[in-house]
A and B are shown apart, each in its own frame.
Chain A
Amino acid sequence: MTNARKCLLGVLLVMVSTVPLAHAQAPVAAPAVTPPAASKTIVDTDLSNIPVPAADARAKGDPDGSLTGNASDITVSDAKKGLTIGDLANQVGQNKIAVNFVWTLITGYLVMFMQLGFALLETGLARAKNANHTMMMNMAVYGIGMFAYWLIGFAIQMGGVGAVANLGGTPPLSSEFTVHLFGKPFGLFGQHGLFLMHKGTYDVGVMVLFLFQMVFMDTGATIPTGAAVERWKFSAFIVTSFLFAAFTYPLFANWAWGGGWLANLGANFGLGKGYCDFAGSGVVHAVGGLSALAIAMILGPRIGKFSREGKPQVILAHDVVMVITGCLILAFGWFGFNPGSTLGASGNGNLRISSIAVNTMLASAAGLISGMLYMWTFYGKPDASMTGNAFLAGLVAITAPSGFVNPVGAVIIGLIAGVLVCLSVAFVERVMKIDDPVGAVSVHGTCGIWGVISLGLFADGKSNYGGSWNGVNGSVTGLFYGDAGQLVAQLVGVAALIGFVFTLSFIFAIVVDLLVGQRTSAKSELAGLDLPEMGSLAYPEFELKSSS
């Protein structure tokens, strides 16, 4: 073909392709106005005339899916009457709750997967001689924590939450222990739900709520294992995890999420919409981080972490690949953590799950970038473990505000968290002289508190989860959008975290220290905890060279 013919063919092709395009972009004529159809009341007999695929047509298979799922799949209450309006309405209602059940359960499974992320992150940051011990703590906390939570923790946390509309009501969870203070009711702990059998709590909606809340609690319970790694007696860890899951976590979670006094600061004292914590920067992360601080303080640093003059020494992580893999798994699981906290995908403004997921990923990116740049600028290299911590710091910080802020707010919150975690790690190590091998206190404690405060600043008043939050009409609005009361409510929550949760954790840690002893012997610590505490090495076929 000659060049001229090619050109001609090209011009023709362009003309042909642009003609419909021109039509598409031309102004569209206004449709003729047609009178509205007269409304017609639908009665039961109309439903009986809905055509459904014949049985013989279905018997031939349905490769394109056009025949499967129709009116014949709706459960009828009376076969003689056939399909009724009532059947239809019940099916619609059950479909809504089913969507919410499936959403909440699957996001709960994602949060459970975060246990693996924590296990890899903490084990990678520990030395090889402690790998078995660290992995075991991360697995055992799942079982110990769940057992304690099933026995009593869930009842304390959620026993008085009342109706959770997204899950079909959960009416059995209706009893909150309340005292009166300053003339107002102060809910302190729930009373229904022991063993998931007590007072009618053997209920499908309650089961969904239990699973979702249990994996959240377990995320909090696994945080102290990071700060105490390489020197924590396994028996002390078991008792501590039980106490955390049974009492420490459920108490604060009740105050914030279970209908307790913090949630009602708006209704009772006019402070915004009360203490708000969408997915747990405070409830999960700050509680875990502050417990970690209490335990690390009592345990003391690892042998060799500080020189005689108190100068911190570097103890190298044994597997950076594990560390980064763990961080990425955690970031993946966070898509269950935050969007799942709507407890539903249908109704009550739950379509905001898209916004929550995007806020989550944006804040993590912002944290990663600011933390990496901070390390690069001030320490010469984009340190992998600190960049990983900054990545997680962004996620921790956005957890509370994720449901209430816009994307720009999410990025600002993440950027600040990425730098804040670097400063906090340096402060904890150099000023407090506390040995926190994975940075748990800073990532979860410091950035968790920042997340709680940031909600009081950046909530933009655009979210609408059924028209109210914590029993107060309207949307959650922070200081920068006009509601100073919301910031005060958040700060009262911070005061409870630092003043009450830390104190309770500290007292528990002292009691455990007196009963079973918190710290392993110096001999075991120097040998590595795998053999003395667990009885076997993580890497028995490798020769471990001790450089630290």
Chain B
Amino acid sequence: MILVGILLTFFGFVIGVSSLAVTASAGGRLVIVMAGIAVSLFGILGVLNPAYQKNAVWKKGLSRE
């Protein structure tokens, strides 16, 4: 899942850059770039972070005591 998250996050950047070629209108580029940012954020918040939270230290019961 970590690899998927990394690829998804990077893919959002690719979408953002591709907006420069897909259309010349500011509105169209705005929508595509926003979609790219959303994909990257999903990669971080929806895939990468949950993958690391699976083995979080607090789930193992490690505490200060």
Contact = CB atoms under 8 A, between A and B. Distances in A.
Contact of B58 (A182, A301, A492, A522): A301
Interface string B33-65: 110110111001100110011001111011110
A522 B9 contact: no
Most B-side CB within 10 Å, residue of A434, A495, A502: A495
Given A300-B52, A301-B58, A502-B40, A495 B12 contact: yes
A92 interface: no
Given A308-B58, A506-B48, A526 B13 contact: no
Nearest to B64: A304
B27 A484 contact: yes
A322 B45 CA distance: 33
B56 A498 contact: no
B64 A492 contact: no
Contacts of A492: 16-17, 19-20, 29, 33
Contact of B56 (A181, A433, A506, A526): A433
Contacts of B36: 495, 499
A488 B24 CA distance: 11
Contacts of A502: 9, 40, 44
A305 interface: yes
A131 interface: no
B4 interface: no
A491 B34 contact: yes
A496 B63 contact: no
B62 to A, nearest CB: 5
Contact of B63 (A303, A432, A484, A507): A303
Interface string A295-331: 0011011011111101000000000000000000000
Most B-side CB within 10 Å, residue of A181, A500, A510: A500
A487 interface: yes
Given A492-B17, A492-B20, A503 B58 contact: no
Interface in A264-278: 265, 269-271
A383 B63 CA distance: 26
Interface residues of B, number: 40
Contacts of B26: 271, 484-485, 487-488
Nearest to B33: A491
B17 A307 contact: no
B30 A310 contact: no
B42 to A, nearest CB: 11
Interface string A461-493: 000000000000000000000001101100110
A125 interface: no
Most B-side CB within 10 Å, residue of A434, A502, A546: A502
A459 to B, nearest CB: 15
A182 B19 CA distance: 11
Main secondary structure of the interface of B (DSSP, over half): helix
A72 interface: no
Contact of A432 (B15, B21, B49): B49
A348 to B, nearest CB: 29
A434 B9 CA distance: 18
Contact of A495 (B21, B37, B44, B57): B37
A304 B63 contact: yes
Interface string A426-441: 0000001110000000
Contact of A488 (B29, B49, B53): B29
A270 B13 contact: no
A303 B64 contact: yes
B13 A303 contact: no
A548 interface: yes
A297 B9 CA distance: 15
Contact of A499 (B10, B30, B52): B10
B6 interface: yes
A13 B26 CA distance: 69
A502 B2 CA distance: 14
Given A303-B62, A308-B59, A488-B26, A297 B17 contact: no
Contacts of A498: 9, 12-13, 37, 40-41, 44
Given A495-B37, A502-B40, A548-B64, A297 B49 contact: yes
Nearest to B53: A433
A188 interface: no
Given A269-B20, A498-B9, A484 B44 contact: no
B1 interface: no
Contact of B13 (A293, A487, A495): A495
Given A297-B52, A506-B48, A484 B30 contact: yes
B39 to A, nearest CB: 8
B30 A491 contact: yes
A360 to B, nearest CB: 27
A494 interface: yes
Contacts of B64: 303-304, 526, 546, 548
B9 A499 contact: yes
Please give me the 8 A-B residue pairs with the lowest Cβ-Cβ distance, nearest first.
A499-B13, A495-B16, A306-B58, A304-B64, A182-B21, A499-B40, A484-B26, A499-B12
15 contacts: A265-B20, A297-B52, A301-B57, A310-B58, A432-B45, A432-B49, A487-B26, A492-B33, A495-B33, A498-B12, A499-B14, A499-B16, A499-B40, A502-B40, A522-B62
Given A304-B63, A434-B49, A495-B33, 4 more contacts: A297-B48, A301-B57, A306-B56, A495-B36
